[in-house]
Structure 1
Amino acid sequence: MKRRMARETAFQVLFQMDMNDIQPDEAVENVMGEPLKDAFLTNLINGVMKHQTEIDTKISEHLQNWSFDRLASVEKTSLRIAVYELMHHEDVPQGVVINEAIEVTNLFGDEKSGKFVNGVLSRIIKS
C-alpha cells in the first residue's frame, strides 16, 4: 500500500474510532473489511492511539483562539496523524507530512479545513 493510501485509511479508521467510540479492530473491519497487513498503516494507527495524550497536548499548545474541544473530527484526526508523524517519523520530511495532511484533510473536509490544519502544523514546526 502506498503511503498516501495508508494515511487516508488511517484517517478513516481513527475518525471512526473518535466519532463512534469503537475499538480499533472494529474500525479496521468497517473500513477495510480485513485485518491490517500494511506496516506503515499499522504503525500510524497504533502510534496515534498510543501517543494520543501527548499528541493532543502538542496540538492544544499551538491552537490560536481555539480550544481542542471545539475542533471538528476531520481536523482533529488529520492533526493527530500529522503530529504523530512529525514526532515519531523523523525519516519523513516535515514538508511532506504537512502536504499529506492538507491533502487528506481536503479529501475528507473542505478547503478551510486544509488551511486550518496547515496553520496549526506550521506553528508546531516553528516552535
Structure 2
Amino acid sequence: MKRRTAREKAVQCLFQIDMAEVNLEDAISMVMEEEQGADNAYMKRLIEETLSHLPQIDQEISKYLRGWQLDRIANVDRAILRLAFFELMYEQEIPKKVVVNEAIELAKLFSDDQSYRFVNGVLSSYLQAMETPEA
C-alpha cells in the first residue's frame, strides 16, 4: 500500500473511531473491505501511534485553532489534523512540507471546499511557531 493510500485509510479509521466509537480492528476492517490482503502495516502504525499520543496531539492542535474549539470543527478535519500533527510531532524522518501537502490533499478529498484552507492554516501556524525561537 502506498503511503498516500495508507494516510487516506488512516484518516477514515480515525474518523470511524472518533464518530462511531468503534474499536481499531473494526475500523480497519470497514475501510479495508475492498483491499483484503493489502499490506496495511504502515496504516495501522499511523493509527495506533496517533491514538496513543491523542491527548498531546489534541492539546497541540487546540493551541492553533484561533477562535475554534477542537470538538466544534468538522469531524473529518479533526481526523486529518490529528494524523498530520502526529506526523509533524513524532515522525522526524518525514519532511514537514510533505506532511502539510498530504493533509491538504486529504482535506480536498474528504471534506468541503474550504477545509483545505483551514487545515493548511492550522498546520502553517504550528510550523511557524516551531521555527520561531522563544524569547
TM-based fold match above 0.5? yes
State the number of aligned residues. 127
Listed as ranges, the matches of 1:1-127 within 5 Å are 1-33=1-33, 34=36, 37-127=39-129
Distance 1:8 1:35 in 2: 17
For residue 35 of structure 1, report the CA deviation from its aligned partner.
Answer: 7.8
Distance 1:26 1:39 in 2: 15
Distance 1:112 1:92 in 2: 26
For residue 111 of structure 1, report the CA deviation from its aligned partner.
Answer: 2.0
Q: 1:72 to 1:112 in 2, by over 3 A?
A: same
RMSD, matched Cα: 1.3
Q: Percent identity?
A: 44
Name the TM-score, length of structure 1 as normaliser: 0.95
Unaligned runs of 5+ in 1: none
Name the TM-score, length of structure 2 as normaliser: 0.89
Corresponding letter in the other structure for 1:23: N
